[in-house]
Structure 1
Amino acid sequence: MARRVPGDGGRDAARNGKASGAGNTARNGGPAGRSARAGAAASGAGSAASGAGSNGTASNTAGSNSTASGAASNGTPGTAGGPAGPGTSGAANLPDVQPQPQSPSPSRSRAKRKAGGDELEALLLGGVPRHTAYEVCKAAGIPYDEARRYWRAMGFADVGQARAFTDADVDALLRLGGMPRSGLFTEDFAVQVARSMGQTTARLAEWQVDVLFDAFDTAGVGSEQMAEFGYRIGRRVLPELEELLVYVWRRQLAAAAGRVRQQMQEHAEGLQAVGFADLVSFTRLSRQLSEEELARLVSVFEANAADTVAYGGGRLIKTLGDEIMFAADSPARAARIALDLLGAMRRTEAVPELRIGVAYGHVVQRNGDIYGTTVNLAARLTSLAEPDQIVVDPELAAALASDSTFELEPIGTRMVRGLGEIEPSALTAG
């Protein structure tokens, strides 16, 4: 189905990643009903939103996608949305999702399921797939090799010359191909734009599809009804989700541009505080809890952590299951976020204690991630921390020394693997 399509015009991009609801983390431990998706969902909801789902992204070139990543996880200051949304789902919010009687005829049931899947696919893609890759390239005036670079960058599989493309794919190639042809950008720049959108919206689409199916499971929707219900819900919420995606992306873009501008004005480019927060005894818990319970634990941890980081004016860089990585532009802001993270988790019975390490120094920013010795040091400090403790490096401690809202207690010289001896401190509220 179009799920495996490489590329699907801009506006659809926004539509796809959204119409499906989220929950990347909880995917593996979801309710049993999820195994039933293979039948009806494969032709419909899951299919369209996962592969083709990210397709349309290209068309909204600058927009829809790149942000989604921020939208779903970062939640920078001033950014609406933030990370809270993904963790919530529920049948109560699903319009008209009530179990219906099964069709008495297996053949009629299969026909209905196929029709529902085709309709959902066309809804998400913005049209019925009817073009081959070469037809799309010819219509857009883009060489096939160049188009293939864009499709690969967006994460779309090679479908050969199957009729798996819509008119929206032509729009997408026109927009991406127009960048180097304008003389303002190179083809490599266009490929990077496509890659940022593809990687970001792929996770967003998977996350949102999981949330939708979890809601279906809760509502008692059977596997043979999922495509039909996905179509009904998609028609109702897709336009709103598309607008919301662009809105959140613009807010994230404004926040990111503001940070860069501030760094340039202060001549402190690349200087940031980086922190890691790690769940204590996660390996032991993973052996004691069921997959569903473990997924819920990780989901609650990530949602609470993302909210706390966003509210404190930081950025959630990545989540690693039992660990999160965040960054902030000032030492005080990073320290406050670390303290708030401990406080938030103490109030959440379902989440075990945390260990947190924070370091301050120069970092390298690339493709939404950060690298460098400061990042490595923060990770090492996390392993030095006791449960429910925050350990910071000497640079961060020195930057906070005159701030009475924080207290710092040296914990002795420690050998940090790969970095030598340092003298870290334990951070508490003043």
Structure 2
Amino acid sequence: MSRPDEEQLVDIILAEQLQYTNAETAERGGLTPEQAARLWRNLGFPDPGDETAFGDADVTAVAIVANAMEHEILDEDTVFRLTRALGQTMSRLADWQATILVDQLESDIVRGKSDSRADAALELAQTSVPGFERLMVHVWRRHLAAAAARLTALGENDQALLSTDMTVGFADMTRFTALSNRLDDASLASVVEEFETRCGDLITAAGARVIKTLGDAMLFVHPDPVLATKISVDIINTIGARPKLPDVRVGLATGSVISRLGDVFGPPVNLAARLSQVARANRLLVDQATADALGDTFEKRVLPPRHIKGFGHLSPITVSERLPFRSR
């Protein structure tokens, strides 16, 4: 059973009384109980059974979905694909936010701002949730507009909407397993967060997109091989210069990728990951397609053939900044 302060915290965040079962919510919102249960699962929550686990806001959410299907704004398959994407994204976002807020709670207690974690959590919920809810919707709209613009830029070719040429980058911290065995939890979390923050800043500032983070690695894409290479060099120079961070290695590959479910798929994705795994610390390896697109912008050196899992024997190409000419 949850403690009273936990129940109070949940009530503040949800801002309503939970009073309906799944069947009652479905009836009020206009879906069948089976559809409502499927919606709930797609959003990332366990089957509530006959518990009173829903409120008026849940009824409104069900009604939105029912209206979209009833008026054929969206077909049922599309609705449930969208809600699954929403559930998975929001679950990760909520966990991420809660972890960050724990640090704030501890800081409030140390500084004497709050007497207990429960008091600090309640105060944060009351003061920050409404504002961040508006911010979250605004940021989602901005990202949706950017995604729509990218699709529009691909033109009217249906095939182009399914796949497009991209340069895929995979930045990977070296010796991360050994590091994780040596550091305590707080120190390890700090290393991962700094890596993700600094890499993410370099990637997004240059017009690339972070596709996902994997703890010790980051996957990103850019339509321009030259700019993707510059980003990779900047990551190596920045992360490699940080004494508190492990060395980093980057793999780049260019070719046709498929964008689905917020992720990218295709041979360039796999090859970029493989190249990062065989690269030396603070080195960038690229495939032939990427190297061909670079011209004389960077220094390039073809390495001896080696076995790349899933691709046979390839000759990776190491790329570095071209040093300026100095006259004697």
Superposition TM-score, scaled by structure 2 size: 0.90
Displacement, 1:226?
3.0
Q: In structure 2, how many angstroms separate the alpha carbons of the residues matched to 1:173 and 1:165? A: 11
What corresponds to 2:201 in structure 1?
307
Partner deviation per Cα, 1:149-183 (whole Å, 9 max, x = no partner): 11110011112111221100000001112221111
Q: In structure 2, how many angstroms separate the alpha carbons of the residues matched to 1:216 and 1:237? A: 13
What corresponds to 2:302 in structure 1?
410
Displacement, 1:347?
3.3
Q: In structure 1, how many angstroms separate the alpha carbons of the residues matched to 2:126 and 2:48? A: 27
Does residue 281 in structure 1 map to residue 175 in structure 2? yes
Match for residue 335 of structure 1 among 209, 229, 235: 229
Counterpart of 1:165 in structure 2: which amino acid? F
Displacement, 1:229?
2.7
Q: In structure 2, how many angstroms separate the alpha carbons of the residues matched to 1:219 and 1:120? A: 17
Moved more, 142-151 or 306-315: 306-315
Does residue 211 in structure 1 map to residue 100 in structure 2? yes
Match for residue 153 of structure 1 among 42, 47, 55: 42
Displacement, 1:296?
1.4
Partner deviation per Cα, 1:349-369 (whole Å, 9 max, x = no partner): 211111110000011111011
What corresponds to 2:18 in structure 1?
129
Do 1:126 and 1:168's aligned partners in 2 also have CA atoms closer than 8 Å?
no
Do 2:109 and 2:120's aligned partners in 1 also have CA atoms closer than 8 Å?
no
What corresponds to 2:326 in structure 1?
none
Q: In structure 2, how many angstroms separate the alpha carbons of the residues matched to 1:171 and 1:218? A: 37
What corresponds to 2:136 in structure 1?
245
Q: In structure 2, how many angstroms separate the alpha carbons of the residues matched to 1:227 and 1:398? A: 58
Q: Residues 265 and 234 from structure 1, CA distance in 2 versus in 1: closer, same or farther, beyond 3 angstroms?
A: same
Q: In structure 1, how many angstroms separate the alpha carbons of the residues matched to 2:57 and 2:104? A: 30
Question: Secondary structure at the residue paired with 1:194?
Answer: helix
What corresponds to 2:321 in structure 1?
429
What corresponds to 2:216 in structure 1?
322
What corresponds to 2:57 in structure 1?
168
Displacement, 1:319?
1.2
What corresponds to 2:70 in structure 1?
181
Greater relative contact order (Cα 8 A, min sep 6): structure 1 or 2?
A: 1
Q: In structure 2, how many angstroms separate the alpha carbons of the residues matched to 1:322 and 1:134? A: 44
Counterpart of 1:235 in structure 2: which amino acid? Q
Q: In structure 2, how many angstroms separate the alpha carbons of the residues matched to 1:203 and 1:219? A: 25
Question: Secondary structure at the residue paired with 2:154?
Answer: helix
Q: Residues 229 and 128 from structure 1, CA distance in 2 versus in 1: closer, same or farther, beyond 3 angstroms?
A: farther
Question: Secondary structure at the residue paired with 2:73?
Answer: coil
Q: In structure 1, how many angstroms separate the alpha carbons of the residues matched to 2:75 and 2:126? A: 38
Do 1:394 and 1:422's aligned partners in 2 also have CA atoms closer than 8 Å?
no
Match for residue 260 of structure 1 among 135, 151, 160: 151
Structure 1 unaligned runs (5+)?
Answer: 2-41, 44-113
Do 2:108 and 2:120's aligned partners in 1 also have CA atoms closer than 8 Å?
no
Q: Residues 118 and 383 from structure 1, CA distance in 2 versus in 1: closer, same or farther, beyond 3 angstroms?
A: closer
Partner deviation per Cα, 1:113-157 (whole Å, 9 max, x = no partner): x1x433322221120111121111111121000111111100111
Do 2:109 and 2:115's aligned partners in 1 also have CA atoms closer than 8 Å?
no
Question: Secondary structure at the residue paired with 1:218?
Answer: helix
Match for residue 386 of structure 1 among 271, 277, 280: 280
What corresponds to 1:348 in structure 2?
242
Q: In structure 2, how many angstroms separate the alpha carbons of the residues matched to 1:214 and 1:311? A: 27
Q: In structure 1, how many angstroms separate the alpha carbons of the residues matched to 2:44 and 2:16? A: 20
Displacement, 1:230?
2.1
Match for residue 188 of structure 2 among 294, 315, 339: 294
What corresponds to 2:81 in structure 1?
192
Structure 2 unaligned runs (5+)?
Answer: 323-328
Do 2:109 and 2:116's aligned partners in 1 also have CA atoms closer than 8 Å?
no
Do 2:105 and 2:121's aligned partners in 1 also have CA atoms closer than 8 Å?
no
Question: Secondary structure at the residue paired with 1:232?
Answer: helix
Q: Please identify which structure carries the higher strand content.
A: 2
Partner deviation per Cα, 1:357-386 (whole Å, 9 max, x = no partner): 000001111101111111111111112211
Partner deviation per Cα, 1:400-429 (whole Å, 9 max, x = no partner): 115x3x222212323322212323211112
Displacement, 1:224?
8.8
- Residue identity (%): 35
Superposition TM-score, scaled by structure 1 size: 0.70
Counterpart of 2:185 in structure 1: which amino acid? E
Displacement, 1:300?
1.1
CA RMSD, 1 decimal: 2.1
What corresponds to 1:232 in structure 2?
123
1:139-150 pair list within 5 angstroms: 139-150=28-39
Match for residue 220 of structure 1 among 79, 87, 109: 109
Counterpart of 1:287 in structure 2: which amino acid? N
Question: Secondary structure at the residue paired with 2:268?
Answer: helix
Does residue 117 in structure 1 map to residue 11 in structure 2? no
Do 1:117 and 1:228's aligned partners in 2 also have CA atoms closer than 8 Å?
no
